[in-house]
Structure 1
Amino acid sequence: MQIIEQQIKTKLSSSAKFYGYIPDVSQEIDPAAERPSVLICPGGGYVMTSDREAEPVALNFVAAGFNAFVLRYSIAPARYPVALLEVASAMKLIRKNSAAWHVDPKRVIIAGFSAGGHLAANFATSWDRDLVTEYGYHADEIQPNGLFLGYSVITSGKYAHVDSFKNLLGDRYGEPELMSKVSLEKQVTKSTPPAFIWHTVSDDTVPVENSLLFAEALEAHQISFELHLFPKGGHGLSLGTSATAIKSNGYGLEPTVSAWRDLFVAWVQNNI
């Protein structure tokens, strides 16, 4: 397996780290193999990027037949839209190297957990708008073909995870126009890619209504999506297995939700 580590540079930053996990192509099995690929944005309230939602998730995707990439994007005190541009540059990098990395260019998925899910959804709803008109990216080089959201921050309204938005916006938190722009249930368009979404109903940090609002917006725009709601489990469960549970207290071990990986793989096979 090829492991890649490099810095992501944009017009606003140069501090993001990009990691790639690319299985070798077997000359015996399929020398021309192209794989679906996932760019993962770990969560962390825009003040950290969680280890539990980074490499362990990437390796799990690799085991399922994907190329996996992790973006350790800029966090506070960096402010919007720094991380968003880093996602665009990471996506551009993946597409630029699609042949060398055996990436299927028609199956590149942006993924995120918690606040990383907000970043992923922000990118998925803006890839052909501001990123093109204001920052000079070409739509065809950054287009996401699918969107994965795990217990994601979505809305800046009634069900907001307030600290994520304060960390993202800094002194601009509360500006009506900007608050609306980063409330992503309001930003879905016809060009938003198909989505796979999961959440726990009992999430006591990011209310499940975040995912419900986004799903409702997708439905209103006739965007295909698959939504899974699990009846129990807190926030930040990642894989729900011992691989991502916190050793000191066992938090994150929730077998009920661990089914999401296989559900996601099947969704990609059938929809992307």
Structure 2
Amino acid sequence: MKLDRRAALIAGLTLPLAAGAQTAPPGVSDKPAPAGLAEPVETIDLWPKDAPGRPATLPVEKIDQRSSDPLVADRSVSGIATPRLVAFRPRIANGASVLVMPGGGYSRIVIDHEGYDLARWLVARGFTAYVLFYRLPGEGWAAGPDVALADAQRAVRLIKTRAIRDGLDPGRVAAIGFSAGGHLCADLATRFAARTYDPVDPSDKLIARPTVAAPIYPVISMTLPVAHGGSREKLIGKHASATLEAAHSPDRNVTKETPPCFLVHAEDDGVVPVENSLLFRAALRAAGVPVETHLFTHGGHGFGIRKAAGKPAELWPELFLNWARTQGFA
């Protein structure tokens, strides 16, 4: 697509054209995808060279296929050494973009039911969707518990940069995250201005604040017993201090600058207690930040889109879009 340099200059940026081949999406194989669900092919590496703060030994990507049904993909990936966005583009774009952050307890990243499934749903409604494969905090990166946030901040900035180039609206970029990805989404919403990496190019002049944020059955608190133990251990360590817990609990970091938020949780979630969403909601309300909250009696954890089918919780994506319209996004 042609680069609109005039728009770039108006925005105060000089946009570089993509240099060289981008890293393939996680999980690409020679096996055919389920009928009607073509695998994505467009990726955007987050960093122009190596990701910052690389460990002495880089992690190696590993794919785990948890589905025994050849027509249903249920993959996860760990060992992200090259963090990247996987782009899904609609035939006719409505101008808005969505950053999707799947969960996985900060030990892996779910590819399909919290990533590609939602991206395809969004694309069918005119949104440009980007699934983020972020670095994991337990894999030796120098940024430690801020490494995934650094990738999320960089992702928002690149999405806004490419929106300027592609004729989309850089003022309409939503963030949606699930479980541990919901923690990352809430962390981004509350700490979008935190300096987690040194600027690498003009994109880093852009603010990393999303227009709206939707943490879905999110990990929020890092304080036990409300915290999800696995995510807490991977993010800040098993014996983290109260100070470190507070620094990485989004409910402790809400300000009036936090974007409007949309929360979804099931009351019977046996993995991440519903109190996580309630704590975040209370903090948002105390700061005067608009928040919409939907609590479902049944749904469990990790329902995404496909596992919510046939339950009241299956309505959450439509509820999100209806709410987002009231916030000037959709």
* TM-score (normalizing by structure 2): 0.71
Query: Residues 237 and 254 of structure 1 are in contact (CA less than 8 Å); yes or no, is this contact kept in structure 2?
Result: no
In structure 2, C-alpha distance between the alignment counterparts of 1:92 and 1:58, rounded to whole Å:
19
1:29 alignment counterpart: none
Query: Residues 186 and 217 of structure 1 are in contact (CA less than 8 Å); yes or no, is this contact kept in structure 2?
Result: yes
In structure 1, C-alpha distance between the alignment counterparts of 2:310 and 2:281, rounded to whole Å:
24
Match of 1:258 among 314, 322, 329: 314
How many corresponding residue pairs?
Answer: 252
Gaps of 5+ in 1: 26-32, 246-251
After superposition, residues 225-240 of structure 1 pair within 5 angstroms as 225-239=291-305
In structure 2, C-alpha distance between the alignment counterparts of 1:72 and 1:129, rounded to whole Å:
20
1:267 alignment counterpart: 323
After superposition, residues 168-187 of structure 1 pair within 5 angstroms as 168-170=235-237, 173-187=239-253
In structure 2, what residue type is equivalent to 1:161? Answer: H
Match of 1:15 among 71, 78, 82: 82
Change (3 A) 1:183 1:141: closer
In structure 1, what residue type is equivalent to 2:108? Answer: M
CA deviation string 1:123-157 (max 9, x = no partner): 110112334xx644856432211101110000012
**2:260 matched to 1:194?**
yes
In structure 2, C-alpha distance between the alignment counterparts of 1:200 and 1:102, rounded to whole Å:
38
1:67 alignment counterpart: 128
1:249 alignment counterpart: none
2:290 alignment counterpart: 224
Query: Residues 80 and 169 of structure 1 are in contact (CA less than 8 Å); yes or no, is this contact kept in structure 2?
Result: yes
Per-residue deviation at 1:12? Answer: 2.9
2:214 alignment counterpart: 148
Change (3 A) 1:103 1:170: farther
1:41 alignment counterpart: 101
Gaps of 5+ in 2: 1-37, 55-80
**2:228 matched to 1:161?**
yes
Q: Secondary structure at the match of 1:110?
A: strand
Change (3 A) 1:141 1:149: same
Per-residue deviation at 1:22? Answer: 1.5
Query: Residues 3 and 22 of structure 1 are in contact (CA less than 8 Å); yes or no, is this contact kept in structure 2?
Result: no
Structure 1 vs Structure 2: percent identity of aligned residues?
A: 34
In structure 2, C-alpha distance between the alignment counterparts of 1:138 and 1:71, rounded to whole Å:
17
1:54 alignment counterpart: 115
Q: Secondary structure at the match of 2:191?
A: coil
Max radius of gyration: which structure?
2
Q: Secondary structure at the match of 2:187?
A: helix
Match of 2:159 among 78, 94, 108: 94
In structure 1, what residue type is equivalent to 2:322? Answer: A
Q: Secondary structure at the match of 1:99?
A: helix
Post-superposition, which runs of at least 4 consecutive aligned residues in structure 1 deviate over 4 A?
136-139
Query: Residues 185 and 213 of structure 1 are in contact (CA less than 8 Å); yes or no, is this contact kept in structure 2?
Result: yes
Query: Residues 85 and 155 of structure 2 are in contact (CA less than 8 Å); yes or no, is this contact kept in structure 1?
Result: yes
In structure 2, C-alpha distance between the alignment counterparts of 1:254 and 1:82, rounded to whole Å:
37
Using the TM superposition, name which of 142-151 and 214-223 deviates more: 142-151
In structure 2, what residue type is equivalent to 1:45? Answer: G
In structure 1, C-alpha distance between the alignment counterparts of 2:251 and 2:310, rounded to whole Å:
28
Per-residue deviation at 1:34? Answer: 4.7
CA deviation string 1:87-115 (max 9, x = no partner): 11111111111133343222111110000
In structure 1, C-alpha distance between the alignment counterparts of 2:320 and 2:313, rounded to whole Å:
12
In structure 1, C-alpha distance between the alignment counterparts of 2:263 and 2:164, rounded to whole Å:
29
2:75 alignment counterpart: none
Query: Residues 39 and 68 of structure 1 are in contact (CA less than 8 Å); yes or no, is this contact kept in structure 2?
Result: yes
In structure 2, what residue type is equivalent to 1:6? Answer: I
Higher fraction of strand: 1
**2:192 matched to 1:124?**
no
> What is the CA RMSD across the aligned residues, in angstroms?
2.1
Per-residue deviation at 1:65? Answer: 2.2
**2:43 matched to 1:5?**
yes
